[in-house]
């Protein structure tokens, strides 16, 4: 079963969930606003795919926090992401050991096979 992490009111999440539904793919959705990742869960995500892939540096939260002009090391960036999980690129899909980040229908097709 596919696990989908994101924010319910995000257009990319809505599109992802619709795509999964249309393709009859079993999935579970985790709303990061209601069910934030624990430190350990986020550490696992970062270990598997890296902070650069996971952090959305073009998103609204990144700009609101003024992080563009700060020279954050990985530890500081991780702490920001842990506190502000809406800064994560969306969607994050997990299928067993595989992780896919971002909305890409072609990638979804190969990911769910």
Active-site positions read: 10
Return d(Cα 40, Cα 38) in angstroms, integer: 5
Q: What would the two tokens of residue 19 be? A: 């795509």
Rounded to whole angstroms, the Cα distance separating 101 from 94 reads 9
Quick one: tokens of 17?
């969930």
């Amino acid at each position: 079963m596919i696990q989908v992490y994101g924010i319910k009111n995000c257009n990319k999440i809505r599109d992802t969930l619709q795509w999964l539904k249309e393709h009859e793919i079993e999935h579970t959705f985790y709303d990061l606003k209601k069910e934030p990742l624990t430190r350990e869960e986020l550490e696992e995500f970062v270990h598997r795919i890296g902070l650069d892939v996971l952090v959305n540096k073009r998103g609204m939260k990144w700009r609101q926090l003024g992080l563009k002009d700060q020279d954050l090391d990985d530890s500081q960036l991780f702490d920001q992401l842990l506190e502000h999980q809406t800064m994560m690129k969306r969607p994050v899909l997990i299928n067993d050991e595989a992780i896919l980040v971002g909305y890409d229908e072609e990638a979804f097709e190969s990911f769910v096979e």
